[in-house]
Amino acid sequence: MSLDPRNRRTVPFFKYPHVFCSVENEILEIVRDVGRRGAFILQKDVQEFEAHLAEYLGTKYVLGVGNATDALFLGLKAAGIGPGDEVIFCTHTFVATAGAIHSTGATPVPVECGPDHLMDPDSVKEAITPKTRAIMPTQLNGRTADMDALQAIADEHGLLIFEDSAQALGSKFKGRCAGTFGVAGVFSFYPAKNLGALGDAGALVTNDEAVYKKAKMMRDHGRDEETGDVVVWGINSRLDNIHAAILDHKFKSYDIIVQRRREIAAIYQERLADISELVLPPGPDADPDHFDVFQNYEIEAERRDELKAHLAEHGVGTMVQWGGKPVHLFRKLGFTQSLPYTEALFERLLMLPMNDSLTDEDVVYVCEVVRDFYGA
């Protein structure tokens, strides 16, 4: 089948204005309400959003912070990670995962991802040393890793699990939410994330009261709320109250956002699964152990760069995650490891448009352009 130029459309990879415009009137009302109350820093809107998120996740404590990178740092510090410790992470992730480990004074130790693009348990086992304190899986693309396998390793070696679940709000493994498996987890509300704010925002989640209490003081300059006394070294990473109010509003329809992303994944699955040059992520109903929220739709593609160019020529925006480099290849940060599986995978990765502004027709069109490229 060849493409009819009359059917040409423009499908950007992501529409930033949609984050605002899809709920413009509601947001303006929220801004007016918060503004007129003068409720800017740590007011009831932050507490309400934290409570709603905790209820949704089934976790005891949620702390709204400035962004997910800060949440990682605060959570790791509060869990006692610091100089002399090693923390294992998978390098198909944002540099923030490793950056947060480094910021605590600990050493980020890179390992491979597996065919599911998530942390590879065998690679983790090989990386454990007497200094290892924690395993930090990234729940990438809205999918949760096989936490049974990682938990078994953590139990055997007495390690903490700390999830970078920035991309996985609502994603589940065996019915349990990403972010709630280990000592703590984080979420990002960066505008392009599934639940997007109008700027930076994030959350730390934990069931551990001591971690929560310490991180809570640390997000506000180390101040103890009750006494006003400064009791630990802290930073300023408070979730803006106005953002909390906007997020709390958007969160009410979060299930619809997730549902829409899963529908889009199903269309991709239906229309691309037969192309032998591609490896698709598992479809939304592929496996009862996993509930995926499709933060991204990341495929593996033969002749990836040519496919990307072909899609661009036909008006379709795509992205290669992390600028095309796994974290351990940022050699200027001091990494020297080679991870052959991950490095080969990165030659093949491509993200197709995946967001709730897409119509079915947009998605079908993207599939047609992909099929056209492979002559399918």
Ligand X SMILES: *Cc1c(COP(=O)(O)O)cnc(C)c1O
Q: Enumerate binding residues for ligand X (CB under 6 A).
A: 67-69, 93-94, 96-97, 138, 164, 166-167, 188, 190, 200, 202
Among residues 168 and 352, whose Cβ is nearest to ligand X? 168
Identity of the amino acid at 145: A
State the Cα–Cα distance between residues 79 and 209, nearest whole angstrom.
11
Among residues 88 and 96, whose Cβ is nearest to ligand X? 96
Residue 249 CB, nearest distance to ligand X (Å)? 19
Among residues 67 and 355, whose Cβ is nearest to ligand X? 67
Number of CB atoms found within 10 A of residue 306's CB: 11
Among residues 199 and 315, whose Cβ is nearest to ligand X? 199
Residue 242 CB, nearest distance to ligand X (Å)? 17
Residue 192 CB, nearest distance to ligand X (Å)? 8
Residue 216 CB, nearest distance to ligand X (Å)? 18
The residue whose two tokens read 């997020």 is 247
Residue 185 CB, nearest distance to ligand X (Å)? 11
Among residues 183 and 367, whose Cβ is nearest to ligand X? 183
246-264 burial, b for 16+ CB within 10 Å, e for fewer?
bbbbbbeebeebbebbbeb
Among residues 99 and 315, whose Cβ is nearest to ligand X? 99
Number of CB atoms found within 10 A of residue 55's CB: 10
Q: In what order do the strands lie in the sheet with 278-279?
A: 278-279, 297-301, 349-352
Question: Do 292 and 282 contact (CB within 8 A), yes or no?
Answer: yes
φ, ψ for residue 223, nearest 5 deg: -85, 135
215-230 burial, b for 16+ CB within 10 Å, e for fewer?
bbbbbbeebeeeeeee
Looking at the DSSP assignment, which residues form a beta bridge with residue 205? 62, 185
Residue 67 CB, nearest distance to ligand X (Å)? 3
The residue whose two tokens read 């983790």 is 124
State the Cα–Cα distance between residues 112 and 299, nearest whole angstrom.
18
Residue 235 CB, nearest distance to ligand X (Å)? 13
Closest C-alpha to 293, from 281, 304, 305: 281
Among residues 239 and 307, whose Cβ is nearest to ligand X? 239
**Residue 60 zone, left/alpha/beta (φ > 0; ψ -120 to 50; rest):** alpha
Among residues 91 and 318, whose Cβ is nearest to ligand X? 91
State how beta strands 160-163 and 132-136 pair: parallel
**Half-sphere exposure of 67 toward its Cβ, with a 13 Å CA cutoff?**
12
Residue 246 CB, nearest distance to ligand X (Å)? 15
